[in-house]
């Protein structure tokens, strides 16, 4: 894993027992992970237990730590990679362990967070339907045909939208048949 | 159910009794062509010269026929009702038969053309699908995320559109389940009763 000088400096500061004593370090680590996992968590700046540390330094360390964490999750880094990186910036063994334990604990949540940052076509979340029987309209009387109105709810980057369309029974059967083909292929692919 | 023709309409159609039945047959053919493909005023000029009448009379005659056919098709009136409605125009037996034949031959197609005018939403044409497995993104490497990419083809009158959408295996199962429920509903007793009785 490669990091910029700024990140390395920030981590070195974090490793320094003169700036962060053991207790502060533990609290800092927890708050740093928290700030990634729950967006409304306590901020590092103005945290009561970390007030004694210079706030500019604190902000720098926080940026460095969160960059390190996210890079680790992105690359699916194992224990030896993380440990060697932290040792390079002079983390004591105890601090390496504390950090790695928090990393393991939060890894899953961070992974789902990162996997949801995606550009993809609108994602279908639900389908609503309505069955109607058309009796007549202004151009033709005695229509007497059933028809379906389908609404597909889609979501993209947090905004939801809908695709509405009509279909006859045969068309709906065709649509469902094709979806079932896709699902069967999926099943076969996962079994082989 | 009888067709009620306005005085103006009867007047326009009255022109037809002044010409040869063969010509009326030709007018009928022209009227149906116009309904299918749109009207072409030049034809009126040509016919007017040949028959030695004003092109306006020709136009009224043809348009009168068009309106007669569209109204009859719209209401889907029976043979008997059509004959009774046309009787009021006082045409010859031969002419009446001709008009009836015109209606019977073309009624279905005219109804199809009319139904395209009705308001509607885009309707389903086709669905294409593709299975993918996402391996990595800018934000996260080492992924194994199965996704189903769908291309939904819709048609709205002359306009065709295609929507590229995505879903995951679990949602796909849910969609299939919901839409199958929709299909099953049509076969329920309630729906069957309504479909049977409203005719």
Mean pLDDT of A3-21: 89
| Site from B109, B123, B135 to mutate, A interface, most A CB atoms within 10 angstroms | B123
Query: Has residue A171 got a pLDDT over 80?
Result: yes
Q: Which residue of A has its CA nearest to B182?
A: A129
How confident is the model over A29-48, as pLDDT tens digits?
988 898 888 877 667 777 88
Query: Has residue A179 got a pLDDT over 80?
Result: yes
- In angstroms, the CA B72 to CA B156 distance is 27
Residue-level pLDDT at B18? 78
Cβ distance A141 to B75 less than 8 Å, yes or no, reads: yes
Q: Which residue of B has its CA nearest to A125?
A: B171
Confidence band, pLDDT 50/70/90 cuts, at residue A22: confident
Task: Specify the length of chain B in residues.
Answer: 199
Residue-level pLDDT at B97? 87
Mean pLDDT of B185-195: 92
Confidence band, pLDDT 50/70/90 cuts, at residue B174: very high
> Among B56-65, B156-165, B186-195, which stretch is predicted with the lowest mean pLDDT?
B56-65
How confident is the model over B58-113, as pLDDT tens digits?
888 888 888 888 888 988 888 888 888 888 877 888 888 888 888 888 888 888 88
Confidence band, pLDDT 50/70/90 cuts, at residue B182: very high
Distance from CA of B140 to the nearest CA of A (A): 4
Q: With contacts defined as CB-CB under 8 Å, which chain B residues touch A178?
A: 127-129
Q: With contacts defined as CB-CB under 8 Å, which chain B residues touch A190?
A: 146
Query: Has residue B26 got a pLDDT over 90?
Result: no
Q: With contacts defined as CB-CB under 8 Å, which chain A residues touch B109?
A: none
Q: Note whether A166 contacts B: Cβ–Cβ < 8 A.
A: yes
Query: Has residue B172 got a pLDDT over 90?
Result: yes
Q: With contacts defined as CB-CB under 8 Å, which chain B residues touch A135?
A: 198
Q: Note whether A129 contacts B: Cβ–Cβ < 8 A.
A: yes
- Helix A55-75 and helix A5-15, axial crossing angle in degrees, nearest 10: 110
Mean pLDDT of A46-70: 87
Q: With contacts defined as CB-CB under 8 Å, which chain B residues touch A75?
A: 141-142
Q: Which residue of A has its CA nearest to B181?
A: A129
Confidence band, pLDDT 50/70/90 cuts, at residue B54: confident
Query: Has residue B178 got a pLDDT over 90?
Result: yes
How confident is the model over A74-103, as pLDDT tens digits?
999 999 999 999 998 888 888 899 999 999
Mean pLDDT estimate for chain A: 89
């Amino acid at each position: 894993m490669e990091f910029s000088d700024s990140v390395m400096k920030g981590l070195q500061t974090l490793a320094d027992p003169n700036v962060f004593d053991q207790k502060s370090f533990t609290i800092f680590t927890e708050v740093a992970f928290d700030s990634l996992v729950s967006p409304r968590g306590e901020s590092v700046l103005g945290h009561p237990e970390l007030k004694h540390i210079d706030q500019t330094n604190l902000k720098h360390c926080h940026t460095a730590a969160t960059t390190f964490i996210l890079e680790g999750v992105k690359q699916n880094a194992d224990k030896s990679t993380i440990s060697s990186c932290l040792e390079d910036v002079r983390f004591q063994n105890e601090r390496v362990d504390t950090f790695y334990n928090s990393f393991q604990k939060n890894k899953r949540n961070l992974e789902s967070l990162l996997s949801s940052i995606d550009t993809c076509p609108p994602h279908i979340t639900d389908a609503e339907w309505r069955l109607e029987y058309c009796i007549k309209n202004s151009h033709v009387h005695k229509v007497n045909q059933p028809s379906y109105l389908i609404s597909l709810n889609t979501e993209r980057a947090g905004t939801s939208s809908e695709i509405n369309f009509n279909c006859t029974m045969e068309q709906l059967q065709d649509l469902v048949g094709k979806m079932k083909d896709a699902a069967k292929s999926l099943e076969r692919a996962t079994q082989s | 159910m009888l067709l009620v023709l306005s005085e103006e309409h009867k007047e326009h159609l009255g022109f037809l009794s002044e010409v040869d039945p063969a010509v009326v047959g030709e007018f009928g053919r022209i009227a149906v062509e116009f309904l299918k493909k749109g009207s072409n005023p030049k034809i009126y000029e040509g016919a007017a010269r040949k028959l030695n009448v004003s092109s306006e009379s020709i136009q009224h005659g043809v348009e009168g026929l068009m309106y007669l056919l569209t109204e009859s098709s719209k209401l889907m009136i029976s043979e008997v009702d059509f004959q009774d409605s046309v009787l009021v125009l006082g045409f010859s037996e031969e002419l009446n038969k001709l008009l009836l034949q015109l209606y019977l031959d073309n009624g279905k197609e005219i109804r199809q053309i009319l139904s395209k005018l009705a308001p509607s939403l885009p309707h389903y044409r086709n669905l294409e699908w593709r299975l993918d497995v996402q391996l990595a993104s800018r934000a996260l490497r080492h992924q194994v995320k199965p996704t189903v990419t769908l291309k939904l083809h819709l048609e709205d009158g002359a306009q065709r559109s295609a929507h590229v959408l995505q879903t995951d295996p679990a949602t796909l199962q849910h969609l299939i389940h919901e839409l199958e429920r929709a299909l099953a509903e049509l076969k329920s007793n309630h729906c069957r009763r309504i479909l049977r009785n409203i005719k």
